[in-house]
C-alpha cells in the first residue's frame, strides 16, 4: 500500500534547497541562512523502472533515463510522461517564484513627511525664520564653499537660482518647488537630507516644512535690511588700557593713549601737559566733561616730523590734532572696517599710512585728506608700521604673519613688497634706526628684538614675564630706546586690571625717520 502522500503524488523533501542542492539541515555551509520555506516536489509511482520502489520520487528520472524520450519520439507520449513533464514545469515555476520572492530588494523609499499648515498674521522672514532651519539641516552640503550639485541655499537669490536640477524654489508655488519636494521626501530619486549622511543632518519636521512652504508661497523674498545708527555709550571710568604711545622728533613731548583719552607729557620735566578734547563729543551729550578725544578706544598715535600734528586712530576714524590748539584738521572717512591699529607719518609730512585689524594698509595724502594708495591685505592685523628717514621704505608688523613686511616706495608713490623679514611670535610695535635695522616688540616672546634688513637677529632685550608692546628711539641723539611692556594677562584685561611699564635702554645706533 502507498502512503497518503504517495497516493496524492506529493512529498516534502527536507534535503533539497531552493537551488536544488542536496544539503541536509545539519550540513548547511557556514554563515548560510537557513531557508524557511521547504521545496515542494511531486512524485508518482515509478513507470515500470526496475530497481525503484513503489511511490519513490523520481525527480531526475527524466534526465537519467533518456530512453523514455527516444523510444516515443514518433509516437504520442504515455500519460505518465505527460504528467511528469507537467509536474517538472510546475516545480521550476514554483522554485523560481520562491527565489524571486526571497531575493526581491527591499523598498528603501522613505514615506513622505506631512507638511503642516502654518497660520500667522506676519510675513515669514528668511533670516529669522527660514535660514536657521537650513543652517541646521542643509547648509553643510549646500554653501558657497561646498555646493553639491552646484546648489547653494544661503540666500533667497541662491535658492531661486538653484543648481544642476534647476531653481530650488518657485515663488508662490511651494508644492512644485524642488526644495520642498526633496525635503518632504516626495521625489523618488532624491531625499534630503540623505539617509545616514556624514554631517548628521536630520529630516525637517512638519512644522519646519510648513514654515518653508509658507515662505515660498509668500514670494520667497529676502529679509528687509534695516540700517540702524550706532548708539554710542560712554566707556567705563575704570577702563584705561594703554595701546599707543608717540614721541615728537625732538624728544620733548610724548603722547599716551589711555582708553579714548590722549595724555600729553613734557619729557624733560616729566610733567603732564594736558589732555586732548574733541568738542563734538561734549556737544553731543555723550560726555559731560572735557578730556575725551574719541568715542572708542585709541589704538594708534603718530606725530608729524615738526611735532605740530598728531594723528590718532580709533574705531573707523583717524583724527588729526594740531599743537597747541585742540582742533581737528579733518577726519578720514571709511579709514577702516573696524579699528585703526597702526599709524605712521612720512618724514616729509606729506603722507599718512594707516593699518587696521583686518590687514588693510592705506596711504593718505595729508594735504588733501584723500586716499592715495591701498595695499593688499597682510597676514592678520597690522599692529605697527614705519616710514624710513628718506621715505623709500615702509615696514609693517604683521601680527599673524610672525614677521615684518618690507615695502619699497617708488618715486610715483607706488609700493612693492621687497620681502618679509625675521621670524618672531606676534610682532607688535616697531621703530627704525640709521643702519636700516628694525627694533620690534615681540609680544609672545617677552622681548625687544633688533632685526637687520636681511632678516637676521642682531640684538635682543628680554623682559621676562612681561608682554612687549611697543618701542621707540628718542632722546637728544635718538639713542635712547623706550620699551613699553605689560604683565597683564587676558583674564586681567577682562577684569579691567592692567600693569604697564616703560623701560629705558641706551643703544649704539641712533634712530631714523619719525619715532
Q: For the chain, how many structural domains are there in total?
A: 3
Q: What is the pLDDT of residue 426?
A: 85
C-alpha closest to that of 293 among 278, 308, 311: 278
Asked whether residue 268 falls in the same domain as residue 195, the answer is no
The CATH number linked to 282 is 2.130.10.10
Asked whether residue 193 falls in the same domain as residue 159, the answer is yes
The domain boundary residue, chosen from 357, 377, 397: 377
Asked whether residue 196 falls in the same domain as residue 294, the answer is no
Residue 233 lies in a domain: no
Residue 302 lies in a domain: yes
Long-range interactions of 451-458: CB distance < 8 A, separation 24+: 451/404, 451/421, 451/422, 451/424, 452/421, 453/406, 453/421, 454/421, 455/419, 455/420, 455/421, 455/422, 455/423, 456/422, 457/422
Helix (H, G, I), strand (E, B) or coil at 180: helix
Asked whether residue 256 falls in the same domain as residue 209, the answer is no
Cα distances (Å, whole numbers) of residue 438 to 334, 406, 449? 30, 10, 8
Asked whether residue 275 falls in the same domain as residue 366, the answer is yes
The domain boundary residue, chosen from 331, 350, 377: 377
Residue 225 lies in a domain: no
Q: What is the pLDDT of residue 4?
A: 41
The 10s digit of each residue's pLDDT in 54-89 is 444 444 444 444 444 444 444 455 556 666 667 777
Asked whether residue 202 falls in the same domain as residue 249, the answer is no
Asked whether residue 365 falls in the same domain as residue 273, the answer is yes
Residues of the chain with pLDDT below 70 are 1-85, 92-110, 226-228, 324-330, 333, 377-379, 401, 493
CA distance 300 to 304: 14
Q: What is the pLDDT of residue 95?
A: 58
Residue 446 lies in a domain: no
Residue 149 lies in a domain: yes
CA distance 331 to 346: 18
Residue 25 lies in a domain: yes
CA distance 507 to 484: 16
Q: What is the pLDDT of residue 198?
A: 85
Q: What is the pLDDT of residue 226?
A: 63
454: Cβ contacts below 8 Å, ≥ 6 apart? 421
CA distance 293 to 449: 32
User: DSSP letters of 472-484?
Assistant: EEESSSS-EEEEE
Asked whether residue 344 falls in the same domain as residue 278, the answer is yes
Omega within 30 of 0 (cis) for the link into 324: yes
Asked whether residue 65 falls in the same domain as residue 98, the answer is yes
Q: What is the pLDDT of residue 331?
A: 75
Strand 427-432 versus strand 415-421 pairing type? unpaired
Residue 365 lies in a domain: yes
The domain boundary residue, chosen from 346, 377, 408: 377
Asked whether residue 260 falls in the same domain as residue 171, the answer is no
Asked whether residue 334 falls in the same domain as residue 300, the answer is yes
CB-based contact 141:149 (threshold 8 Å): no
Domain interval for residue 37: 4-102
Residue 282 lies in a domain: yes
Asked whether residue 321 falls in the same domain as residue 281, the answer is yes
Q: What is the pLDDT of residue 254?
A: 95
Amino acid at each position: 500500500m502507498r502512503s497518503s502522500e504517495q497516493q496524492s503524488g506529493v512529498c516534502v523533501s527536507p534535503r533539497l534547497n531552493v537551488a536544488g542542492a542536496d544539503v541536509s539541515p545539519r550540513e548547511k555551509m557556514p554563515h548560510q541562512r537557513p531557508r524557511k520555506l521547504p521545496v515542494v516536489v511531486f512524485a508518482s509511482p515509478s513507470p515500470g523502472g526496475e530497481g525503484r520502489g513503489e511511490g519513490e520520487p523520481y525527480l531526475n528520472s527524466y534526465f537519467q533515463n533518456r530512453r523514455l524520450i527516444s523510444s516515443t519520439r514518433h509516437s504520442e507520449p504515455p500519460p505518465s510522461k505527460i504528467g511528469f513533464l507537467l509536474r517538472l514545469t510546475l516545480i521550476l515555476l514554483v522554485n523560481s517564484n520562491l527565489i524571486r520572492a526571497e531575493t526581491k530588494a527591499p523598498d528603501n523609499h522613505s514615506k513622505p513627511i506631512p507638511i503642516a499648515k502654518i497660520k500667522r498674521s506676519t510675513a515669514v522672514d528668511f533670516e529669522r525664520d527660514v535660514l536657521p532651519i537650513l543652517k541646521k539641516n542643509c547648509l553643510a552640503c549646500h554653501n558657497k564653499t561646498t555646493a553639491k550639485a552646484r546648489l547653494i541655499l544661503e540666500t533667497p537669490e541662491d535658492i531661486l537660482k538653484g543648481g544642476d536640477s534647476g531653481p530650488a524654489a518657485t515663488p508662490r508655488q511651494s508644492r512644485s518647488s524642488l526644495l520642498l519636494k526633496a525635503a518632504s521626501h516626495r521625489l523618488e530619486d532624491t531625499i534630503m537630507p540623505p539617509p545616514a549622511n556624514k554631517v548628521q543632518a536630520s529630516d525637517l519636521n512638519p512644522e519646519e516644512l510648513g514654515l518653508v512652504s509658507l515662505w515660498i508661497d509668500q514670494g520667497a523674498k529676502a529679509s528687509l535690511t534695516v540700517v540702524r545708527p550706532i548708539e554710542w555709550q560712554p566707556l567705563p571710568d575704570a577702563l584705561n588700557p594703554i595701546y599707543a604711545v608717540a614721541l615728537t622728533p625732538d624728544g620733548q613731548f610724548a603722547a599716551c593713549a589711555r582708553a579714548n583719552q590722549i595724555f600729553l607729557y613734557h619729557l624733560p620735566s616729566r610733567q603732564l601737559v594736558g589732555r586732548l578734547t574733541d568738542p563734538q563729543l561734549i556737544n553731543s551729550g555723550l560726555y559731560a566733561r572735557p578730556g575725551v578725544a574719541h568715542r572708542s578706544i585709541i589704538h594708534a598715535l603718530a606725530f608729524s616730523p615738526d611735532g605740530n600734528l598728531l594723528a590718532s586712530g580709533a574705531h573707523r576714524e583717524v583724527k588729526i590734532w594740531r599743537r597747541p590748539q585742540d582742533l581737528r584738521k579733518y577726519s578720514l572717512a571709511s579709514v577702516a572696517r573696524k579699528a585703526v591699529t597702526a599709524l605712521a607719518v612720512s618724514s616729509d609730512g606729506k603722507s599718512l599710512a594707516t593699518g587696521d585689524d583686518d590687514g588693510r594698509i592705506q596711504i593718505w595724502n595729508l594735504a588733501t585728506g584723500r586716499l592715495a594708495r591701498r595695499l593688499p591685505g597682510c597676514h592678520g592685523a597690522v599692529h605697527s608700521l614705519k616710514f624710513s628717514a628718506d621715505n623709500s621704505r615702509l615696514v609693517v608688523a604683521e601680527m599673524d604673519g610672525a614677521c615684518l613686511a618690507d615695502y619699497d616706495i617708488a618715486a610715483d608713490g607706488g609700493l612693492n613688497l621687497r620681502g618679509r623679514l625675521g621670524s618672531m611670535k606676534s610682532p607688535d610695535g616697531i621703530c627704525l634706526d640709521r643702519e636700516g635695522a628694525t627694533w620690534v616688540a615681540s609680544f609672545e616672546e617677552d622681548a625687544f628684538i633688533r632685526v637687520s634688513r636681511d632678516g637676521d637677529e642682531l640684538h635682543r632685550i628680554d623682559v621676562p614675564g612681561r608682554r612687549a608692546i611697543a618701542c621707540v628711539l628718542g632722546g637728544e641723539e635718538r639713542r635712547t630706546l623706550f620699551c613699553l611692556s605689560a604683565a597683564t594677562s587676558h583674564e586681567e584685561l577682562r577684569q579691567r586690571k592692567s600693569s604697564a611699564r616703560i623701560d629705558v635702554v641706551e643703544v649704539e645706533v641712533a634712530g631714523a625717520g619719525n619715532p
